Chains A and B, each alone.
Chain A
C-alpha cells in the first residue's frame, strides 16, 4: 500500500481500513501484493507457527514433568505399602496402614492402592478404604514390568498407575498397584497452557509489530528511490539521488545511466532529423527556384509538387521531433528568459513595425519540458502576434491550478492589438496548413505545431479575444511549482 501511495502521490486520499484490506486481498489475488506486505506476511506467519509449536512443546513438557512428579509420589506410597506389608515377616503379610496419605482413606478420592495375589487368579488380598468395596480394573503385569500407565478408575476417573510384583520368602508373590487421580495434573497443565498461551500471544503481536517497523524502516530507502525517480519523471530533478544504502546504490547509478543514455538517444535523433532536413531542403530550394523562373506546364507541375513535398517534409520532421520528445524525461526550463530572448529576436525581425513588446512573466515560472519546445510554441505565437499587431504585443505568464486541482500549470497569454479573428476563423486557423491570409509570409504550420507540442506535454492551446482588441493566444502547460524547487 505504501508503495502505491508513493508511486501515485497525486491520487493520495484517505482510505478506510476495510477498503485498504480489501484492496490488499485483491492485489494478492492478482499476484501484485506490495513488497512490504509480502515481507510482513511471511514473517508474521513464520512467527505465529514457531510460537504455536513452542507453546505446544512447553505444555507437553509441563504435563510430562507433572506426571513424573505424580509417579514419584505413587512410588513413595508403593515403597511404604511394601514396608508395611513386610513388617511381620516371616509371618503372613499385614494390611498396610499409616501410609501418611489421608486420601487413601476417603471414599472415591481418586487415590487407591490394591494388593493382589500374584500366583492365583489375582484375587484381592488387601485394598484401600477409598475403593469403598469397588475394585480397580488392573491390566495384566507383563514379565518386563512395563504396564499401561493410565487406567479408568471408579466413577470414570482417569488414574495414573504404578504396579509392581513382589515376592516374599517362601515363594509367595503379590501384585501391588498404587493409583492416583490425574485430575490435578490436568488442571495444572491447563492453567499453565493458559498463561503460556497468553504470554506467547503477546510475544507474537510484539514480534509482528517489530516486523512491520523493521520492514517499513528497511524499505524507506526504496520509497526514497521511487520518490526520486518520480521527481525525475516530473522534471523536478535531473537525476536520481545516488546517496543510497549499498544494496540500492547500483540501481540508482544504473537508472541515472539509463536517463543519460535516453537523453543522448533523443539528442542523436534530433541531430539526425536536423541533418535530414538540411539534406532535403537545399535541393528542394534549387528545384523550386529552377522551376519558378520558367513558365511552362512542367515547371508549374514541379512547383505544385515541390510545395506538397515541402509541406510533407515539414509535417513529418515535426512528427519525428515530437516522437523523440516523448522519451525525454526530467527536463525543465525557466519561462522568462526564453520569452525575453524571443521578444528581442522579434523586435529585430519585425523592425519595420516599431513594435512595443511587453513581457509580464512571474519570476521563477518554470516549464516542465524541453526549452526547444517552449521556444517553438512561444516563437510561433509571438511571430503571429507581431505580424498581425498594430504595434503592441503583451506576453503574460503566471502559475495556475489544473482543472482537477491536482497538477500545477503555467498559463501563457500572448495578446496583440491587431484585427483579431472571428469565431469561425479561430476554429479554421487551428487546422494544419491553414493560412488565413496568403499575403503574410509563413508556412501555415505554426498554430497546428503549437497544438501538437502542447498536446505532447498534456497541455492545451486555445484562441480568444484579447483585451487589447486583437487576438489572444492562450497556452496551458505543465509547470513546476515554486515550492517543489
Chain B
C-alpha cells in the first residue's frame, strides 16, 4: 500500500512517514501544496494524509483540484482548525475523514487503515481467504491459526493482493503501489516475493494469470 504524506512541518512529516512505514506502508512525502498536488496527480496512491495549512497551495485547494481531475484516492485531512465548519468544509471539498491536531499517531494510523480498507470495499479489519487470515490492524498474518513470519516486503505484497481479492492485479500496479517513486521498476523483485509467499502459504493462494498479472481467488474464502 502506498501512502502520500503532505505536511509542511518537517518533524511532523518525518513522524508520520516513520509511523506509516513501520505499519507496513510505502510512503512518499511532500512539504508544500504544489509538490503534494503534483505527486497526488501523477502517482497512484492508496491513501493520502493531507495537512490543510500548507505553503504555496492550501490543502483544501489541493484536494479540490484532485477531485476535479477525478483523482479518487481516499484522503485523510489533518487540521488544526477543528470547528465543525472547518471539518465539513474539508469533507465537502472531497476529504474522506479528518484528524484534528494535536493527534496521537495511533489515531492517524487507524483512520488510514480504515480508509484503505473501505476503498477496497472491505467491511472488517480482518481479511480471510481459506485458512489465511490477514489482521490489518495488527499487521499480522496467520495460516490455520498459526502466525506466519513475513518480511515487510512480503507483507505489503500479500496485503495488497488480499485487499484486492478476486481481481487481477498487474505487475505494474503492484510496483506502483508497493514501492516509492524512486524504485527501479524494471527489476524482478515482485516475482521473487511472489515465489516466497507461495512457499509459505502454498501454491493455491496466489494465481498467476498469464500476460495479465496475479490474483488471490475470492472463492477460496
Give A contacts to B, CB under 8 Å.
Answer: 274, 277-286, 288-290, 292-293, 306, 310, 314, 321, 341-342, 344-345, 348-349, 351-352, 371-372, 375-376, 378-380, 383, 441, 443
Interface centre among B9, B97, B101 (most CB of A within 10 A): B101
Chain A residue nearest to B16 in the complex (CB):
A289
Contacts of B100 in A (CB 8 A): 281, 443
Chain B residue nearest to A441 in the complex (CB):
B107
Partner of B91, one of A349, A380, A443: A349
- Are A285 and B103 touching (Cβ within 8 A)? yes
A310 to B96, CA, bound (A): 25
Which of B35-43, B78-86, B208-216 participates in binding chain A? B78-86
- Are A288 and B104 touching (Cβ within 8 A)? yes
B42 CB to nearest A CB, Å: 26
Q: Indicate whether B114 reaches chain A with its CB closer than 8 angstroms.
A: yes
- Are A281 and B101 touching (Cβ within 8 A)? yes
A162 CB to nearest B CB, Å: 103
Contacts of B87 in A (CB 8 A): 345, 379
Contacts of B103 in A (CB 8 A): 285, 288
- Are A292 and B104 touching (Cβ within 8 A)? yes
Contacts of B101 in A (CB 8 A): 278, 281-282, 284-285
Give B contacts to A, CB under 8 Å.
Answer: 9, 11-12, 15, 19, 53, 80-85, 87-88, 91-92, 96-98, 100-105, 107, 114, 118, 123
6 A-B pairs closest in CB distance: A379-B84, A278-B80, A281-B101, A284-B102, A285-B102, A345-B91
A285 to B13, CA, bound (A): 11
Given contacts A281-B100, A289-B105, 14 further A-B contacts (CB under 8 A): A274-B80, A274-B81, A284-B102, A285-B15, A285-B103, A289-B12, A342-B84, A345-B87, A349-B98, A352-B114, A371-B85, A375-B84, A379-B84, A379-B85
A376 to B123, CA, bound (A): 30
A285 to B88, CA, bound (A): 22
Chain A residue nearest to B105 in the complex (CB):
A289
A280 to B53, CA, bound (A): 13
Provide a sorted-by-A list of 16 A–B residue pairs whose CB atoms are within 8 angstroms.
A281-B80, A285-B102, A285-B103, A288-B102, A288-B103, A321-B83, A341-B88, A341-B92, A344-B91, A345-B91, A348-B97, A351-B96, A371-B85, A372-B83, A379-B83, A379-B85
A288 to B100, CA, bound (A): 14
B170 CB to nearest A CB, Å: 28
A385 CB to nearest B CB, Å: 13
- Are B102 and A306 touching (Cβ within 8 A)? yes
